[in-house]
Amino acid sequence: MNILVTGGAGYIGSHTCVALLEAGHTVIIADNLCNSKAETIDKIKEIVNQTSNENIDNQITFYKIDVTNEEAMGAIFTNHKIDGVIHFAGLKAVGESVEKPLEYYYNNIVSTMFLAKACGKYGVKKFVFSSSATVYGDNTVPFVETMKLLPTTNPYGETKAMSERILTDVVKANPDLSVALLRYFNPVGAHTSGLIGEAPNGVPNNLMPYVTQVAKGKLKQLRVFGNDYPTEDGTGVRDYIHVVDLADGHVVALDKLESGLHIYNLGTGKGTSVLQLVKAFEEANGIEVPYEIVDRRSGDIASCYADASKANDELGWIAKRGIVEMCRDAWRFEKNYKE
Ligand code: NAD
Ligand code: WQD
């Protein structure tokens, strides 16, 4: 299939492009590079060409383009016969979304609306959307797809909840379109080649890139946000999922997508605390990660992990990689990465 991947130069998008190409699909990437680099496209080609019998360079096309530019995006739909869209493009920094809500609402909502509209106009049948466990709010763990969603705590989360509602209505109005809302838990790790991975701009907000940068000596020590949560060791519990497992989930969702709206949690179903992750990282890589306990971070919840059984039952997808592989692969990428 010809798959339009918005945000395909980004962290999850680049790994998904590798998985799509390895599965024999053709990818058309639309990314404005606001949080990624053009070199990533070459790295995707390099990874796939290493294992493929034939050169895949002509199965990947890159457009440096803003997805909210409806006219320019229209030209992509006219030039390529798009069979499916995976919509990763979006702004994702929670703290920044509180400071710049309009940028977040505009970028994340308008892009989703324009793409859904283009699917109707150009007869595209499959749409896969990057949602987030953040839409569950502070529900009781494990989070199940059938749960009533609780309020999100920031504009970023709201853009995901709103995009989900918009796409739900679009499917009702356009029964030819199949939509998968994929709710990711906490994606970490990197491709085993060490060529692509998570490289946030500035000081990382998320735990794993912070840990890898402390291990590299770029940051002095980790601040653990609170050890008085009602969890096993008092630190926050999350469902970390290897980005390559997550990427595979997209390929499967696209292949198996049937008409209508389908919601899937993409997580491992296992919770890991901050201190357990630090210990796993130290053991996997033989490196010490100094840390101090500080106050809770505003907006954080105690525990967040998935009931991942629906994706397993309906798609046959299951996360295969454990926390040790996540830590090892994240560190390999960080060591290799040059700014
Ligand atoms: P990322 O920032 O690495 O990738 C997003 C890509 O989209 C970047 O390459 C960026 O340049 C591009 N982009 C942003 N706005 C654009 C626009 N208007 N036009 C064209 N390109 C644009 O982020 P990621 O971690 O790969 O996340 C991908 C998606 O998954 C996002 O929608 C994010 O909200 C969602 N998500 C991420 C996480 C996470 O923890 N990483 C968790 C849940 C959901
Ligand atoms: C994980 C745990 C922190 C950094 C965020 C978004 C969510 C989704 C994934 C996009 C928590 C603790 C963190 C640090 C720490 N993104 N921590 N010190 O908050 O679960 O989710 O990213 O959709 O929407 O909110 O991820 O990696 O920031 O935090 O102690 O320096 O690590 O308190 O318990 P989070 P995270």
The per-residue pLDDT for range 187-206, each reduced to its tens digit, is: 999 999 999 999 998 999 99
Report the C-alpha gap between 104 and 156 in whole angstroms.
6
Proximal ligand: closest to the CA of 188: 1
Give the residue ranges of DSSP H helices in the chain. 11-22, 39-51, 70-79, 94-99, 101-105, 111-122, 155-173, 207-216, 243-256, 274-285, 309-310, 323-336
Residues pairing with 260 in the sheet: 178
Pocket test for ligand 1, best of 6, 12, 108 (most atoms within 8 A of CB): 12
Cβ 94 under 6 angstroms from ligand 2: yes
Instruction: Assess contact for 285 and 56: CB atoms under 8 A.
Output: no
Residue 8 CA: distances (Å) to CA of 158, 164, 264: 23, 20, 21
Quote the ligand 1 centre to 5 CA distance (angstroms). 11
Catalytic, 156? Answer yes
Between CA 34 and CA 64 the distance in angstroms is 10
User: Which-ligand-closest: CA of 107?
Assistant: 1
Cα-to-centroid distance, 201 and ligand 1 (Å) = 13
Atom of ligand 1 nearest to the CA of 9: 9
**Pocket flag, ligand 1, residue 248 (CB < 6 Å):** no
Strand pairing of 84-87 and 60-64? unpaired
Radius of gyration of the chain (CA): 19
279 lines ligand 2 (CB under 6 A): no
- Cis amide leading into 209 (omega within 30): no
Sheet (strand 303-304) strand order:
272-273, 237-238, 303-304
Q: How far is the CA of 179 from the centre of ligand 1 (A)?
A: 18
Q: Is 138 in the pocket of ligand 2 (CB under 6 A)?
A: no
How long a stretch of residues is the chain?
A: 339
Catalytic one among 104, 136, 156, 305?
Answer: 156
Residue 47 · residue 191 · CB < 8 Å: yes
CA 86 to ligand 2 centroid distance, Å: 24
Tell me how many degrees the CA angle 55-328-209 measures, rounded to the nearest 5. 95
Cα-to-centroid distance, 211 and ligand 1 (Å): 21
Query: Looking at residue 8, what DSSP letter applies?
Result: T
pLDDT at 176: 92
Helix axes 70-79, 111-122, angle to 10 degrees: 40
Neighbouring residues of 273: CB distance < 8 A, sequence distance ≥ 6 = 231, 232, 233, 235, 236, 237
**Residue 213: Cβ within 10 Å count:** 18
Q: What is the pLDDT of residues 271-297, one digit of tens each?
A: 999 999 999 999 999 999 999 999 999
Residues in the chain with pLDDT values less than 50: none
Cβ–ligand 1 contact at 104 (below 6 Å): no
Question: So what's the pLDDT on residue 339?
Answer: 81
- The pLDDT score that the predictor gives to residue 338 is 84
